[in-house]
Structure 1
Amino acid sequence: MAATSSAGDPVRVPEPLLPAARACPASGSAAAVGPAHRGRLVTGIESWLVTRYEEVAAALSDPRLVMSAPRIQQELVDRGALPERFGSLVQRRTRTLLSTDPPEHSQLRRLVNPSFSGRTVDLLRERARQVCGDLLAAMRERSRQGEVVDLVDEFAFPLSVTMICQLLGAPAEDRERFREWSQAIVFDHGDAESVAAYQRAMAAMDEYFGELIAAKRAAPAEDLVSQLVAADDERGGEDPAELRSMLSLLMIAGHETTANLIASGVLELLRNPEQLAALRADPGLLNPTVEECLRHAGPVAFSSMRFTTEEIRFGEVLVPRGEVVSLGLWAADHDPAHFPDPDAFDVHRRGDPHLAFGRGAHFCVGANLARMQAQVALGTLLDSFGEIKLAVPEEELSWRPANTRGPRHLPLRLTE
């Protein structure tokens, strides 16, 4: 993202859509030069990027920044700040957790909160250990034969998608279909081909969840889809598209970011062998390590787009009404004013909480589930293998071209 300060001077703003920046999270440089910067995203959207921790943390809870603003969105399309093809995608979205604001958002969140509570997630921890055990057993067998294993394809992705499938009540054998759809949906929509792929994937997932909803309505079970169907029926089932959209969002968000967190976290430990050694020596550091992975290599670069409903000041920068605002979660979590030596990966770090899951009404509903899976994944992986090494030079790794950050593949050589 090319950007200028409010005075028009060039500034260094981390660009997660470039390979170098995806491989190395946003440094504190963007936060240090100012609170907000004007620029254009690769999708063609003109946006203000807010980068300092203090302003990002406040903005995440600011009611003047909204996600649902059809009138403002149309104004942006009319003046060319929001490309018409992208605007049409946004306009067609039904109500979801990422396209509504309180009180609508609060109503939707109440439907899913119980399934992602700390108590519910703790009950799933043993299942996560079982899934990890099965995946690691297969990886161990291949490693004994001298083969390279891919942590993304053989561990991080199947774990995360299996767990969200169990929570929702979707067959785990459909996980490859979910992966194909999610890649088309979360990746950049900067050209006609990618927009068409997005539309095909959304249509396919919509059809899939329509069939799953019908099956759960006919034969309810102890899962989230059945619970949401029952709640929808109590409300009169007025908008079936809303329920399908909700499930599509939960499926994608429930595995895409978690898989990236696990893969990126393992890579950070391999980049910092002294931190890996500290974790091996003290398993009590497991939870702080996951939090540092979230801060230092969080799976989401920017918040979802927000729109200013009135003039808002970010530090010394004044942003007018009717503007797109992106909150730089990476940049905020590398702000040197809040995190000493922010570019260092430190499993002993304490202090300000990171913003990887957001804050306020839109705080990530799946935070408990993501944390639990990362804790179990890192813990069981390190217990299973005494030596873990990259099987290729790090510069050969490729990165996912989207707002979600993570390696496409992570080839490893494992020794028990």
Structure 2
Amino acid sequence: MNNAPQDNQKPHDRGSAQQSQCPVRPVRSGSSAHTSYLVTGYAEARQALADPRLSKDTAAFFANKGSKRRLHPAVSQSMLASDPPQHTRLRKLVARTFTTGSVAALRPFIEQVTDDLLDAWPTHGEVDVVADLAMPLPVTVICELLGVPEDNRSDVKRWSAELFAAGQPERIDAASHAMAEYMVGLIAERRERPGDALLDDLIRVRDGEDRLSEEELVSLAVLLLVAGHETTTNFIGSALLALLRQPADLERLRREPDLVPGALDELLRRSSPVSVATFRYTTESVTLGGTEIPADTPVQVAIGVANRDPARFPAPEQLDLGRDATGHLSFGHGIHRCVGAPLARAEAELALRKLLARFPNLRLAVPPEDLVWRPTRLVRGLTALPVLV
């Protein structure tokens, strides 16, 4: 389904005039006769994200639907598309890598990568923040964690971008196979020459304790590789744009950089890097916001719109860095809340701190209305963010 407007705005840029009157409503999937339900209210979205009656078992839903898609199972049947107990088991295997303490130990490395990227910027002139910082920073970090060689990282970035190519199912499917086949080969190489990367840890779990099947190993590695940078890339660009459009806030954070960590929640709320949560469907009849959703029906949780529900966040269109925005849904909610959230926050925090400290004259190089958003329904990110330094 693609309900995205045809201009360069995303749904949550437009506000939600019907939000309070209709926080849950049926929608049609383009030319399809099938109905799904769109959740835009904050309370209803939070309930939907945590309700065990909304399954994420994509394979089970589509098993008898006659789908013509050919996504690689490593993508279509990942941890992200599973329910307990399988989800619980898989998540435990990677959760320790992304705890607050583990990420704190990674901060010196993240800081060094950020400095290295910014060292390559000119002292004066135009730079694309997306291409020259927001993308390579999280890609470098997650690839180092997993043990992906530097020579392969451009391919990883390309395949990952293609996985979110809205309205191009064949391109998405092809990218899923390319990514999975690459990971199969990398796993084979790491078995021959093991090291101490996260991928090596997962291989040892598979080969030593036999807690992972080979298919689960490949799927988990692909998921970590993609999810480990997509959200952060989009957020860094969107957050910086929001600050550049409010110079007083930008200057305050430059003067008081210790305020940056606290500002992240409001920036995440107002500039959510996720527009719509990943696929869910009802396993039985569920009532959300007074609306009954029949069993076996897809449910789309519009995170970006829910984060702007005035019933939860007054004056939601305003970026207010003094607001208590904890509770926003940009990292999800419930058992499927983004396991990599601490890493994403650390990368975004250090990127913003360094940008503000090193480039006091940072400003947009083009009018905001000329910026282009990625043509994808699931995530929200700029294709480029040209700035003058």
TM-score by length of 2: 0.93
Partner of 1:292: 266
Tell me how far 1:43 sits from its aligned partner.
8.7
TM-aligned CA distance change 1:113 to 1:278, over 3 Å: same
Matched, 1:413 2:388: yes
Matched, 1:119 2:101: yes
Partner of 1:253: 227
Among 283, 286, 292, the residue aligned to 1:309: 283
TM-aligned CA distance change 1:334 to 1:171, over 3 Å: same
Matched, 1:200 2:174: yes
Say which SS state the counterpart of residue 46 (structure 2) adopts: helix
Partner of 2:85: 103
Among 57, 64, 80, the residue aligned to 1:68: 57
* Letter matched to residue 149 of structure 2: P
* Letter matched to residue 156 of structure 2: F
Give the distance between the partners of 1:243 and 1:43, measured in 2 at CA: 37
TM-aligned CA distance change 1:322 to 1:411, over 3 Å: same
* Letter matched to residue 318 of structure 1: E
Give the distance between the partners of 2:14 and 2:103, measured in 1 at CA: 30
Give the distance between the partners of 1:294 and 1:246, measured in 2 at CA: 26
Tell me how far 1:221 sits from its aligned partner.
1.6
Among 28, 38, 47, the residue aligned to 1:49: 38
TM-aligned CA distance change 1:28 to 1:265, over 3 Å: same
Among 128, 152, 166, the residue aligned to 1:150: 128
Give the distance between the partners of 1:99 and 1:293, measured in 2 at CA: 28
* Letter matched to residue 404 of structure 1: V
Q: RMSD in angstroms over aligned alpha carbons? A: 2.2
Tell me how far 1:233 sits from its aligned partner.
1.0
The answer on whether the counterparts of 1:65 and 1:307 sit within 8 Å (CA) in structure 2 is: yes
* Letter matched to residue 307 of structure 1: Y
TM-aligned CA distance change 1:208 to 1:43, over 3 Å: farther
Say which SS state the counterpart of residue 311 (structure 2) adopts: coil
Tell me how far 1:29 sits from its aligned partner.
2.8
The answer on whether the counterparts of 2:266 and 2:324 sit within 8 Å (CA) in structure 1 is: no
TM-aligned CA distance change 1:289 to 1:296, over 3 Å: same
TM-aligned CA distance change 1:72 to 1:214, over 3 Å: closer
TM-aligned CA distance change 1:211 to 1:99, over 3 Å: same
Give the distance between the partners of 1:132 and 1:37, measured in 2 at CA: 43
Give the distance between the partners of 1:327 and 1:283, measured in 2 at CA: 34
The answer on whether the counterparts of 2:74 and 2:180 sit within 8 Å (CA) in structure 1 is: no
Q: Which runs of 5+ in 2 are unaligned?
A: none
Deviates further, 168-177 or 361-370? 168-177
TM-aligned CA distance change 1:408 to 1:271, over 3 Å: same
Tell me how far 1:38 sits from its aligned partner.
1.3
Deviations 1:295-331 (A, max 9, x none): 0111111111101011111122111001000111111
Say which SS state the counterpart of residue 369 (structure 1) adopts: helix
Tell me how far 1:284 sits from its aligned partner.
2.5
TM-score by length of 1: 0.87
Deviates further, 46-55 or 154-163? 46-55
Matched, 1:59 2:48: yes
Tell me how far 1:24 sits from its aligned partner.
6.2
Give the distance between the partners of 1:26 and 1:100, measured in 2 at CA: 32
Deviations 1:224-248 (A, max 9, x none): 1000000011344873232112211
Partner of 1:5: none
Tell me how far 1:27 sits from its aligned partner.
2.0
Give the distance between the partners of 2:352 and 2:344, measured in 1 at CA: 12
Deviations 1:139-189 (A, max 9, x none): 1xx243xx311000011111010011111111233221111101111221x
Count of residue correspondences: 387
Matched, 1:404 2:379: yes
The answer on whether the counterparts of 2:71 and 2:172 sit within 8 Å (CA) in structure 1 is: no
Matched, 1:376 2:350: yes
Give the distance between the partners of 1:255 and 1:238, measured in 2 at CA: 24
Tell me how far 1:196 sits from its aligned partner.
2.3
* Letter matched to residue 7 of structure 2: P
Matched, 1:21 2:3: no
The answer on whether the counterparts of 1:115 and 1:167 sit within 8 Å (CA) in structure 2 is: no
Q: Which runs of 5+ in 1 are unaligned?
A: 3-14, 79-83
The answer on whether the counterparts of 1:285 and 1:348 sit within 8 Å (CA) in structure 2 is: no
Deviates further, 164-173 or 66-75? 66-75
Tell me how far 1:16 sits from its aligned partner.
4.2
The answer on whether the counterparts of 1:305 and 1:325 sit within 8 Å (CA) in structure 2 is: yes
Partner of 2:309: 335
* Letter matched to residue 62 of structure 2: Q
TM-aligned CA distance change 1:71 to 1:260, over 3 Å: closer
Among 89, 104, 113, the residue aligned to 1:131: 113
The answer on whether the counterparts of 2:55 and 2:283 sit within 8 Å (CA) in structure 1 is: yes
Deviations 1:333-373 (A, max 9, x none): 10101101100011111155101011111010110110000
Say which SS state the counterpart of residue 161 (structure 1) adopts: helix
Among 76, 85, 108, the residue aligned to 2:68: 85
The answer on whether the counterparts of 1:31 and 1:53 sit within 8 Å (CA) in structure 2 is: no
The answer on whether the counterparts of 1:269 and 1:276 sit within 8 Å (CA) in structure 2 is: yes
Give the distance between the partners of 1:357 and 1:334, measured in 2 at CA: 15
Partner of 1:242: 216
Give the distance between the partners of 1:70 and 1:97, measured in 2 at CA: 12
Give the distance between the partners of 1:100 and 1:176, measured in 2 at CA: 29
Partner of 1:348: 322
Say which SS state the counterpart of residue 19 (structure 1) adopts: coil
